[in-house]
């Protein structure tokens, strides 16, 4: 199964994505995580990407598009979940073209809906477990509050993502997301239109509820869509 997941930064697309990845055994391809790996390893691509990420801007398409499409071809042969890409209308068109060229199907597109204020609070409270970035920890959310300064799941050391505490950068990321003309929602609606033409399926979920409730709704909507 090949899936695209959309949601504003902080909506929980990484959280739900990692649950879907486990359930359906998908390669979880996250553009942001690929950039962070490059930054950690000090590569040229990482150095360039960091300049944009720290400001809350998109890394230019000429860097991002080939990087993601290449990863998709290499790692996505047995099913993938693409998270964080496409983020604008240009990336959406290029992705759709590449899928046609490769003869890859897009089974499903998921949109997690969430208001800006809630999303911002979730980002600022997010803490990343050094052992597993998919262990949910957030200092502002009781249900997933860390235990002291340690991961609530494994006791691992927690870190703060460098782009998570700058409010201006978060606002910029959200401006890009909620832009329905050329931004990320425009990309999501591009696929919604393809779904209306019968070329894929489009599922929407309300991301304001707790992680488990969203997961259950997502799974039942996926089951219904793929019937
Ligand atoms: P990226 O890595 O995609 O970061 P992001 O934009 O901040 O989005 P996240 O994926 O981190 O947020 P999320 O929605 O997954 O939230 P999470 O599940 O963690 O991108 C980073 C940067 O890379 C971009 O800004 C850009 O510069 C660049 N980039 C990436 N892709 C690009 C592209 N295609 N083109 C150009 N540039 C690109 O959840 C957030 C918090 O809430 C966590 O603490 C979590 O535990 C908690 N939480 C989750 N769900 C719930 C819930 N239901 N209830 C309560 N708490 C919850």
Q: CATH number of the domain that 33 lies in? A: 3.40.50.300
Question: Which DSSP state fits 126?
Answer: B
Residue nearest to atom 42 of ligand 1 (CA): 122
183 lines ligand 1 (CB under 6 A): no
Report the separation in Å between the CA atom of 84 and the middle of ligand 1, taken as the mean of its atom positions: 8
Q: Does some domain include residue 48? A: yes
Q: Does some domain include residue 135? A: no
35 lines ligand 1 (CB under 6 A): yes
Whether 49 and 164 have beta carbons less than 8 Å apart is answered as no
Quote the Cα angle for 196-66-36, to 5°: 100
- Cβ neighbours, 10 Å, residue 54: 13
Per-residue confidence in pLDDT tens, the chain, 227 aa: 999 999 999 999 999 999 999 999 999 999 999 999 999 999 999 999 999 999 999 999 999 999 999 999 899 889 999 999 999 999 999 999 999 998 999 999 999 999 999 999 999 999 999 999 989 999 999 999 999 999 999 999 999 988 899 999 999 999 999 999 999 999 999 999 999 999 999 999 999 999 999 999 999 999 999 88
Residue nearest to atom 4 of ligand 1 (CA): 32
Q: Does some domain include residue 46? A: yes
**Domains held by the chain: number:** 1
Q: Does some domain include residue 151? A: no
- Cβ neighbours, 10 Å, residue 216: 11
Q: Does some domain include residue 157? A: no
Q: Does some domain include residue 145? A: no
Q: Does some domain include residue 101? A: yes
Q: Does some domain include residue 188? A: yes
Domain that holds residue 212: 2-115+167-225
Which runs of E-coded beta strand occur in the chain? 2-6, 27-30, 80-83, 108-113, 128-129, 158-159, 201-206
The tokens for 168 are 């201006």
Question: Which DSSP state fits 165?
Answer: S
């Amino acid at each position: 199964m090949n899936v695209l997941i959309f949601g504003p930064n902080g909506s929980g697309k990484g959280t739900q994505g990692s649950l879907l990845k486990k359930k359906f055994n998908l390669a979880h391809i996250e553009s942001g995580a690929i950039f962070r790996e490059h930054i950690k390893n000090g590569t040229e691509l990482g150095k360039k990407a960091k300049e944009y990420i720290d400001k809350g801007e998109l890394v230019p398409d000429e860097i991002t598009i080939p990087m993601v499409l290449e990863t998709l071809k290499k790692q996505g042969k047995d099913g993938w979940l693409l998270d964080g890409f496409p983020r604008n209308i240009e990336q959406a068109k290029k992705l759709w073209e590449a899928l046609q060229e490769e003869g890859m199907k897009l089974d499903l597109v998921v949109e997690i809906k969430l208001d800006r204020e809630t999303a911002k609070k979730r980002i600022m409270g997010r803490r990343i477990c050094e052992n597993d970035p998919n262990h949910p920890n957030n200092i502002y959310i009781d249900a997933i509050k860390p235990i002291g300064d340690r991961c609530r799941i494994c006791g691992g050391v927690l870190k703060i993502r460098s782009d998570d505490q700058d409010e201006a950068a978060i606002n910029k990321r959200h401006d890009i997301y909620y832009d329905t003309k050329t931004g990320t929602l425009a990309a999501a609606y591009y696929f919604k239109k393809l779904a209306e033409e019968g070329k894929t399926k489009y599922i929407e979920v309300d991301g304001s509820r707790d992680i488990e409730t969203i997961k259950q709704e997502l799974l039942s909507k996926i089951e219904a869509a793929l019937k």
